Structure 1
Amino acid sequence: MKQQRRNYGQYCGLAGTLDIVGERWTLLIIRELLTGPCRYNELLANLPGIGTNLLADRLKFLTETGLVRQRRQEGAKIRLYELTEQGEGLREAVLALARWGLGVLSTPAAEDAVRPRWTMLAVEAMVDPSAAEVDEQYEFRVDGEVFHVTVRDGRVSVAHGKADGEPALTVHTDAVTFVEIGAGRLSPLEATLTKRLVMEGDGEAVLRCSRLLGLVG
């Protein structure tokens, strides 16, 4: 039996969306799964403060509503949670919210959590496809998390893992620095001069990547 939840009682697309994803923590669970399938304990670790009972409740509801499904990890007994096609349909909405949210971030408090995997979604939110110039890849290494951006035939994709072959640019930084740059609170130049950001690649690739992410005009 599906869980009975409060709803807005409004015949409206936005209200219908909020009936499903408007509860506290739900969109953050979606955020985690947009970066790839996760084990339950990974979700719990990357959502500090949620509590295991609440996480289980939210996952059960999202599974019942068809946004999330479980599958066995290949060659193991571990269960993974992943988004269904319907859940993936929230990607653009979540990216738009993340993009908007970067503009309202202030200085992080000491107790604010940050995870390197969140930077992958931040990059995806920052990408301006109209600035895709040259077919190449940029690799990001953020606190041990590795992902890459591929520009190919005017299209841009972001994926886990190392770039295929030699990337045109490799970026080394930490999660806090990257979010501060994305939020416009720290310039790439200042981050580079203070060695919070290290970029390996030719100057033209640096400029192309910066334009792609909206960091320069």
Structure 2
Amino acid sequence: MKVNNKKIKTKYMATVLVLVIATLISLTGCGAKKAKKVEETTKKTDETVAIHAGNTDVYLDEAKYYAYTAQATYETYYLTKNKEINWSSKTKAKMTMEEMVKSTVLDDICRRECMYEYGMKNGVKLEDEEKQELDLKLENYYKLTSPVLVEKIRVERKRLQEIFEKDAIAKKTEEVLDAMEKNLAEKTYKTWKNENTVTAEKQWEEITFSKPIFTLKDLN
């Protein structure tokens, strides 16, 4: 299937994430020990392809990380309004909320692969300070993330570090491109989409939000 532009943009997701950070910490702070235990017993999912993004294979653990993190982000945002999200409800685009968010996540994954590929080919690297920030991000993931979310994702520590590094290089590449020319990152991604086909395996389709990560009970 071809990946199309979606109405919900990454910038909106970033705004939502900022709004829910405080709530996420309040919901997850006491679960560090359980999350650590899950980390130590995680099964490998880095050999199962979930998405073919052009010539790149995106493995299940990475796909689950982004999909379930998006689920948790949206659910927590709704909790800040004292509501629970109905993932089966229809949107104006006649898609369910789950379909819409997964579609957005898929597009974000493809954009990340595009930027990462471009960055690696053109010598974009992380500085020592940036690597240290990723090390801290990795440590905080297991300290602050909800055990329920960690359990759903089940990504090994080494793989999570690789995912974080790829994301950081992709973001840095976007900054480099846009510094060269306004909106060059967007133009580069549009070219990538026109030249590549994206297909999702059944493992991606089987990722669902039917089981909530956060509910109103977690606020009590």
Please say which structure displays the higher CA radius of gyration: 1
Which protein, 1 or 2, shows the higher relative CO under an 8 Å CA cutoff with sep ≥ 6? 2
- Shared fold per TM-score greater than 0.5: no
Instruction: Please identify which structure carries the higher helix content.
Output: 2
Instruction: Please identify which structure carries the higher strand content.
Output: 1
TM (normalized to structure 2)? 0.25
